[in-house]
Structure formats: structure tokens, C-alpha cells
Amino acid sequence: MKYTQLGRTGLKVSRLVLGTMNFGPQTDEPTSHAILDAALGAGLNFVDTANVYGWGENKGRTEEIIGTWFAQGGGRRDKTVLATKVYGNMAGDGDPWPNHDRLSAQNIRRAVEASLKRLQTDYIDLYQFHHIDRRTPFEEIWQAVDVLVQQGKILYAGSSNFPGFKIAQANETAARRGSLGLVSEQCLYNLAERRAEMEVIPAAQEYGLGVIPWSPLHGGLLGGVIKKAGEGRRSASGRSAEALTDPAVRAQIQSYEDLLDKHGLDAGEAALAWLLSRPGITGPIVGPRTVEQLHSALRALEVELSAEVLAGLDEVFPGPGPSPEAFAW
């Protein structure tokens, strides 16, 4: 397993992040535990979740599944860098009590305690703000975070889905307080969605944040969806199927798959390997539903993309260009 440091921290994390969004809604508890065991056995030590995962009436279920895995012992918790998130309303659906969501000091305190209980642990390595909160000043957010750090309930704070200017605002506020501030940003970033290169990733690099891309296969669109459908292995569904109804998108994905076929590369593994090659990237989040999907993702760590392949990918999926030069008049 390949490791890197999480941003400007001393924390060593695996170059792939195990996402657990499917645990509960699509993957049952025994299979989820098998995936976690296989990941840990392969040296993958970075596990990402959120308090709302499980969704609907089952919000919190994903954290509970991870908690029952930790409870089996065997050093599982000590070997795991655990990340979870706060923001979404955890009150029952149709019963949206005020102060049960967002980033008020009250909700942060409540949410941490609830997550610790579900996760069956006494600390969270990386506590992430799932979205920006326009109603709560960062002074209040950092005051709450500083207390939790002093109590030993969290070690570091990170953001998710923050624009570049909010990363700057958050860390400038933290600096005035003498706080560490954000150490990571979890953002949408993949070959087909490169807008993070405009401001989010440059801001993260400027402030020493690790970048953790989510949806590395863009909802399956970059996983060889056309080829798999042609071979009868699996047809496109959901966002992938909808996107492929656009002739321009379908032509682009076909060009992508043709390029990788020419070089004997698996589409999904290549999409992950491309992210791993990008500057400032800590590691992409993979969300396997089965142990076999996990093994496929792990193979991406051994994939080396040639200069020819990288140039071809840039031709199929051109990025916005270097920042800030690409945005000058």
C-alpha cells in the first residue's frame, strides 16, 4: 500500500480512501465488514463516512456498521484513520427540529457525541464539515472545534464541498484564533469534472490542505460503462444512463474508452490512477459494494499512466488550464 501525509498534518494515510456510503443502503452488514477487513488487510487505513449515511429513516446506520466492526477488536480502531462528517439534519424525516443540522456550536457538539456513540469509539481522526454554513460564523465553528480537540474527541477538522474562497475564509479565521484550521478538503473531482482545478485545489495547496476527491468515476461514467454494456456485463444506470443520452457525452466517453483499450488499460483503474497522478491529491474515495470491487480499486495503485496516455486524457477531457493564468484577461 502507498501512503502519504494528510495535508500539513503528521498523519499518514493510504493513497486510496474507503468510502462507506453504500454500507447499509446497498451493502449489508456482513459484506460491509468483509470489505473493511479486506481493506485493512491490504493496508488501506483511511475510512470515510458521514453521520447522515444510511439516509432517510436509517440515517446513522452506516456509522453503526463501522462501529460494530470496530467492536470486534483485533486492533481495528487503532489501525484506522477515521473520518466522518457533520451538517445534515439528523432529526427524523418530516420532523426537522431546529438546531439539528448545520454547523452551530450546539449541533456540532450534539453531532460529535452521537457519531462517537454509533461508531463505538472515543475519538474521530478527521471531523469534516459536509457543506458550508452561511448562517454560522467561522468564529463560532472554530470555538466549538477547539473545545472538541482539547477534549480529545476529534484530532483534525476538514471541509467538504467548500469553494476556494471559503477555504481561505475558514483558515484565515482559524489563524487569527491560533487554531490549526482545515487540514483537508473533500471535493467533486474526476476526469469528467475538473472545475476544482480552477480555485478549490489551488486554495487547498496554498493553505496546506490535503485534497480527497469524491465520485472519482463520475457516477460510473468513467468505469467503462459503454464497453461493459456491449459485453453484456452491466448496462448503464442512474446518472450514467442519463448522461449517455447526450450524443456529445456518449462520443466523449467512447473516445475515452477507445484510448484506454488501445493501451490495454481498465477504464475504472485508469480514472483512479489519473487522480493519483494529480498534484495536491491525497487520495480518491472509492465506494465498493463488494470485496471484488475493492480489489479492482486497489489495482489502480499499481497503474502507471504514460505521458502519451496522460496527454490523450487531457485531449478527451480538457481541464480549465493552470490557475490563475487561464483566467486572466
- Tell me which residues are annotated as active site: 53
CB 51 within 8 A of CB 115: yes
* Residue among 207, 284, 274, 301 at smallest CA distance from 7: 207
Residue 198 φ/ψ region, left for φ over 0, alpha for ψ in the -120 to 50 degree band, beta for the rest? alpha
Q: Are strands 17-19 and 46-48 parallel, antiparallel or unpaired?
A: parallel
C-beta of residue 197 within 8 angstroms of C-beta of residue 19? no
CA 109 – CA 156 distance, rounded (Å): 15
